[in-house]
Structure 1
Amino acid sequence: MSVLAIKHIQFRHGERHKLLVDVQTGIPLYYPSLFITTQVRAGGFSVSTVHASLTALKVLYAWQADRGLNLEALFLTGKLLRLEDITSLVGFSARLLSEERPRTTFKVVRLGFKAGRAVTRSVSNVTTQTQFSRLSTIGRYLGFLAETLRVGRTNCLADGAVSEMVGRINAYRPKTTHSTAVDRDEKGLDLEVVDDVLEFLRPGHPQNPFADQAVQQRNHLIVALLRYLGIRRGELLNLRVEDVDFSKSTLSIVRRPDSSHDSRRHQPLVKTKPRHIPINDALQKALSDYILRFRACFRQARKHPYLLVTHKAGPSQGSPMSNSSFGKLMATVQGMTHEFSAVHAHAFRHTWNYDFSRITDAAGNVSPEQEHKMRAYLMGWSETSGTAVTYDKRHIKEKAAKAALGFQEALKVRKE
């Protein structure tokens, strides 16, 4: 059985791409590469979507090996997947790949009884949303593969047979909902926790887990930008020095996919619309101090325009801060105290939206329509996007709770 891996490729002009390769030979798989290049990448989808699609194909080829099948040979003979094959594939698609398998989280599945005791095994499964996505990609790929192999061959596959097979696969996709056990709006952080994180990361604070003064300055700046601007992690790591306009007191969020200036293996991407966000004096001073006093000290930092850089001694010192380095920063913060365990980049975005709703509502001079438009611009959403409703749900719940209690009290007084 061949071991497959997703290989990251960066072209000279900066474009990123990914392919599924045989680990032993390093050669990309032909039909998966053709599918990804012509059906996914050519459609304008991001590198992260390409990666997710390749992961789904890895699952398909792992299932093929497990079943002892060769899909290409099968389709060339005019045969397609049978119903029992599809049901087996659906079950297999719920599994975690070996490199994704966690060490702790698992589901216990009962197999039977032996000597009066249940015999169990642990099975790690992906979420229903991930399984849905995998099966969607797998169905699309199998349809592509069958039709591609069918070209130039007569009486190989009956008309409509391929569509029927893909339809069956899609029909077995699990039902997904946009709601979870914990609403997305509840991912926001308590305001006291946010203030404590900023305080503990303040340069010179005795409980700051980072010893180096420059690192303290950078990390406090990172959390301040997340807290006060509500920007995404990709937007943060994509910031350039030139994006800070001190004369206009603004910070620009700019889309720069496949930038040739970005040396990072996995380029942070801006998913939202470009915009200019006003910044106050405190943020301007923090940005100025970091740029002039700390970032400027690294020779490597002078070779690229990105704002946040790696401070750790070594060959990467002064290079643009990577996603993995940012993840280590968040992990360190989470480990400081139990109250910080829920701290992550996107939670600050939820908290920002809650604060924005709370403060504009208290001001009393902003209409709901104006608030919606302002929020959409500052977050980088389209004015017609329904995303704002998700982030505003926490504040809506609080207002609904107050209204419900007020209604109950009114009924009580009326009854008395």
Structure 2
Amino acid sequence: MRVEIITLENGEQLPLLVDADGLPVPSANEWLLTRRDRAANTLTRNLSELIPLFGWLERQQFDLWERISSGKGFTEAEIRGSLLEYLRRARNRRSVHRLSVAPDTYNKRLDTIADFLKSMFYTCLSHLPTDDNKYDRIQANLDMMLSWFSSGRMSPEPAKRTAKGLETDERDYLLRCLDPSKKGYDSYGKRMSRKTEASSESYEVSQALRHRNYVMTVLMLFCGLRRGELLSLRVDDVVTGSAIPQVNVIRRPPDPHDARQPRPQVKRLSRVLPIAPYWARPIDEYITEWRDVLLARSGNDTDYLMLARSGRPISLSQVDKIYRRIRDAHSDNLPSHLSPHALRHTFSQNVFTDLKAAGLTEEQVRRQVALLRGDASEASQDEYLRNEVAKQASSQLLRYQNSLSESFKDVPF
């Protein structure tokens, strides 16, 4: 069983769940169509989270619709003792070092499957008259099953690191090692080989990629762009010639000519983000000089801003790979969690801290950070509030420990 993505004539991507024979799974795909307002990537993840359920049903030789419509339903032993245990298992059989999934992954499976089963139960109930003898049994089994799912949730893993972003010295080092004004370095900030430097074509492409990686880093660090927003940018979305340079993050209809899988998307609100002239200059240089070097390597024209070595629009997986390569090349100075998400988190955390230091109330800070990030809900800023509180608590603890150490300075050991 797997998820396949089809592209409709209007460019919209629609994931479908298919069985081992390549045939669509009707119940799962009908349920998916009720959630078409969600992003294609989210729908793809939802279908992937349903695969363990159908694997369990096949293994137990259960007919899901027959179990629901007959009023027999499911017992506590079947749900809590069998299904929930099955959902904890990792699906990747090639991975022998981890047999179970992380609590967050398990909880997401649980929530998606609960929503799917609830829909199945409601569909069955809608076809029955309220005085049918099976109606109350089906409703009661649904209520019990949802309570078993709720009680079966796992506690999240403790955070291994309070901050998911970069420290100031890590951020500065990243910008220095990618700085395209430094000659003789490749796109990952490593010294170039003599062979590459000797080849004018290889050197030119390497420098174009170096400028691109620097611009990607600047846009995520100082504008807080998500990967999908960054890779959805068109050249015209970046205005560098005005008095106040700006980046326009725009939600557009699906692009039928975008062949990337999965397709980058702007899933949050559109917004206009100003960018300081100092950081706008390298962006303008990439657009006017170096982007054409990459574009010339492709037989097709495109107006997407970020291009791969091939000259085609860069994909989400390629961006992740770039930052893994940068991280590996500078493992002594850059953290192991360096990623596009870490750059965006650094932006959010720094803006949150600066706004608090400027004297804004907590409510004002939450509203402004949500606006800059394109979030419709201010509740998503709670994570940065927790990080700020954790930093203050850690600083206070160190001050407390240092104050106590003063009393022991003259005590011999």
Which segment is superposed worse, 288-297 or 234-243? Answer: 288-297
Residue-pair matches, total = 379
Structure 1 183/379 Cα, relative in aligned 2: closer, same or farther at 3 Å? farther
1:375 to partner: Cα distance = 2.5
Q: Distance in 1 between matches of 2:84 and 2:233?
A: 42
1:219 to partner: Cα distance = 0.9
Matched, 1:259 2:252: no
Q: Which amino acid letter does the alignment assign opposite residue 212 of structure 2?
A: R
> Paired residue for 1:58, among 51, 63, 68?
51
1:96-111 superposed matches below 5 A: 96-98=90-92, 102-104=95-97, 106=98
Q: Distance in 2 between matches of 1:365 and 1:31?
A: 54
Q: Distance in 1 between matches of 2:350 and 2:31?
A: 45
> Paired residue for 2:230, among 236, 261, 265?
236
Q: Distance in 1 between matches of 2:125 and 2:268?
A: 40
The equivalent of 2:174 in structure 1 is 197
The equivalent of 2:345 in structure 1 is 350
Structure 1 163/132 Cα, relative in aligned 2: closer, same or farther at 3 Å? farther
The equivalent of 1:134 in structure 2 is 109
- Is this contact kept in 2: 1:255–1:274, CA < 8 A? yes
1:329 to partner: Cα distance = 0.5
Q: Which amino acid letter does the alignment assign opposite residue 145 of structure 2?
A: I
The equivalent of 2:14 in structure 1 is 17
1:332 to partner: Cα distance = 0.6
Q: Distance in 2 between matches of 1:75 and 1:365?
A: 57
Structure 1 286/161 Cα, relative in aligned 2: closer, same or farther at 3 Å? farther
1:357 to partner: Cα distance = 4.1
The equivalent of 2:32 in structure 1 is 36
Q: Give the TM-score, by structure 2 length.
A: 0.80
- Is this contact kept in 2: 1:185–1:391, CA < 8 A? no
Q: Which amino acid letter does the alignment assign opposite residue 181 of structure 1?
A: P
Q: Distance in 2 between matches of 1:278 and 1:360?
A: 16
Structure 1 186/408 Cα, relative in aligned 2: closer, same or farther at 3 Å? closer
* Partner SS state of residue 140, structure 2: helix
Q: Which amino acid letter does the alignment assign opposite residue 176 of structure 2?
A: E
The equivalent of 1:95 in structure 2 is 89
The equivalent of 1:310 in structure 2 is 308
- Is this contact kept in 2: 1:184–1:390, CA < 8 A? no
Matched, 1:250 2:246: yes
- Is this contact kept in 1: 2:264–2:316, CA < 8 A? yes
Q: Which amino acid letter does the alignment assign opposite residue 304 of structure 1?
A: T
Q: Which amino acid letter does the alignment assign opposite residue 115 of structure 2?
A: R
Q: Give the TM-score, by structure 1 length.
A: 0.79
Matched, 1:169 2:145: yes
1:151 to partner: Cα distance = 6.5
Q: Distance in 1 between matches of 2:356 and 2:134?
A: 62
> Paired residue for 1:47, among 31, 34, 40?
40
1:264 to partner: Cα distance = 1.6
Q: Distance in 2 between matches of 1:56 and 1:405?
A: 44
Q: Which amino acid letter does the alignment assign opposite residue 47 of structure 2?
A: L
In the TM superposition, structure 1's runs of 4+ consecutive aligned residues that sit over 6 Å from their partners are 153-157, 404-411
Q: Distance in 2 between matches of 1:131 and 1:69?
A: 22
The equivalent of 2:370 in structure 1 is 376
1:59 to partner: Cα distance = 0.8
* Partner SS state of residue 303, structure 1: coil
- Is this contact kept in 2: 1:201–1:220, CA < 8 A? yes
- Is this contact kept in 1: 2:233–2:249, CA < 8 A? yes
- Is this contact kept in 1: 2:304–2:313, CA < 8 A? yes
Q: Which amino acid letter does the alignment assign opposite residue 386 of structure 1?
A: A
The equivalent of 1:395 in structure 2 is 388
Deviations 1:19-61 (A, max 9, x none): 111243x2211222112113x22xx122233123212321111
Structure 1 135/407 Cα, relative in aligned 2: closer, same or farther at 3 Å? closer
* Partner SS state of residue 73, structure 2: coil
- Is this contact kept in 1: 2:165–2:345, CA < 8 A? yes
- Is this contact kept in 2: 1:199–1:205, CA < 8 A? no
1:377 to partner: Cα distance = 2.2
Larger proportion of strand: 1
1:263 to partner: Cα distance = 2.7
1:63 to partner: Cα distance = 0.4
Gap runs ≥5 in structure 2: 197-205, 405-413
- Is this contact kept in 1: 2:232–2:264, CA < 8 A? yes
- Is this contact kept in 1: 2:103–2:157, CA < 8 A? no
The equivalent of 1:414 in structure 2 is none
* Partner SS state of residue 3, structure 2: strand
Q: Quote the RMSD (CA, aligned, Å).
A: 3.2
The equivalent of 2:324 in structure 1 is 331
Q: Which amino acid letter does the alignment assign opposite residue 191 of structure 1?
A: T
- Is this contact kept in 2: 1:147–1:162, CA < 8 A? no
Q: Which amino acid letter does the alignment assign opposite residue 356 of structure 1?
A: V
Structure 1 397/82 Cα, relative in aligned 2: closer, same or farther at 3 Å? closer
Q: Distance in 2 between matches of 1:131 and 1:276?
A: 37
* Partner SS state of residue 95, structure 1: coil
Q: Distance in 2 between matches of 1:73 and 1:358?
A: 56
Q: Distance in 2 between matches of 1:140 and 1:395?
A: 35
- Is this contact kept in 1: 2:70–2:134, CA < 8 A? no
The equivalent of 1:182 in structure 2 is 159
The equivalent of 2:119 in structure 1 is 144
* Partner SS state of residue 268, structure 2: coil
The equivalent of 1:285 in structure 2 is 281
Matched, 1:5 2:2: yes
Q: Distance in 1 between matches of 2:158 and 2:74?
A: 36
Q: Distance in 2 between matches of 1:147 and 1:157?
A: 16
* Partner SS state of residue 338, structure 1: coil
- Is this contact kept in 2: 1:78–1:157, CA < 8 A? no
* Partner SS state of residue 211, structure 2: helix
Q: Which amino acid letter does the alignment assign opposite residue 388 of structure 1?
A: Q
Structure 1 51/102 Cα, relative in aligned 2: closer, same or farther at 3 Å? same
1:286 to partner: Cα distance = 1.5
The equivalent of 2:271 in structure 1 is 275
1:336 to partner: Cα distance = 1.6
